[in-house]
Amino acid sequence: MSPAVRVPPLAPGTEPVPGYEVLAHLTRTGWLDVHDAWSRERYCRCVIKVVRPDRRGERALAARLLREGRWLREFSHPHLVRGYEVFGSPRPLIVLETLTGETLSHLLHRLRRRPAAADVALLGVQLCSVAHYLHGRGLLHLDLKPANVVVDRGHVKVFDLSVARRPGPAPAGLGTRGYRSPEQARGGTLTAAADVWGIGVTLFEAAYGAGPFGDGGAVAEHRAPPLSSRRRLPRALAAAVDGCLREDPAARPTVAGLVSALEAALPAPVPGR
């Protein structure tokens, strides 16, 4: 039995730090527990992310979590989850807002019909908005994917900055297989183009219902088929997504260029409204 099974998460009713009470355990990752919690000060529900009990002695993980919390507490953007508080003791944890809606990955799995082209374009514009904001603060997200996007009546919020880092040299393998850019997979210098790739894979999956790479190996993972071969879409929209998935980072559009291409696929505003 693995340590993740042997060591239970925080029980309901626990107060991990003063002012916060655990209501329920939401999920467990390889190094984190995520809890639904109650904030007495704000008198509302919130989310607590805490290093798993069996990995609490690993300082690098604690530093990674607290860094994410500090970023989210400092940042303010309508398409980015808000951070409330950061605690280094008695256990490393961060407090975030509770997001309403459902993850894009769950939504795509639940929907019987694929989203309209305009909805795909609008999703892309919102993802570009938050990417532009992060890049302006010298940060790359590096893990843009449907599981890290929450949608509530068409409004998108991105979460999870646990992989985020400054542009520049990076080790191989950052991000999630099937969504990370070729330069993330092999290691090397990372730029804003890595997040453009993540947006492209996410839009491909939103438009088609599945990612472009399937279960292929490391090489096949980075050879995306044209989106138009999977679904009939406006030419400009399909070309914009295809452009994000060029293997050469320099050949991908900038975030601003991608926004312009996506906005061309949105319905024209009605005069007088």
- Residues identified as active-site: 143
Q: How many angstroms separate the Cα of 261 from the Cα of each of 207, 216, 236, 240, 257?
A: 16, 29, 7, 6, 6
Q: Nearest-CA neighbor of 145 among 118, 175, 184, 165?
A: 175
Which amino acid makes up residue 221? E
Give the Cα separation of 25 and 8 in Å (integer): 10
Yes or no: say if 193 and 170 are a contact pair by the CB < 8 Å rule.
no
Beta bridge partners of 149: 158
Structure tokens at 119: 């909805």
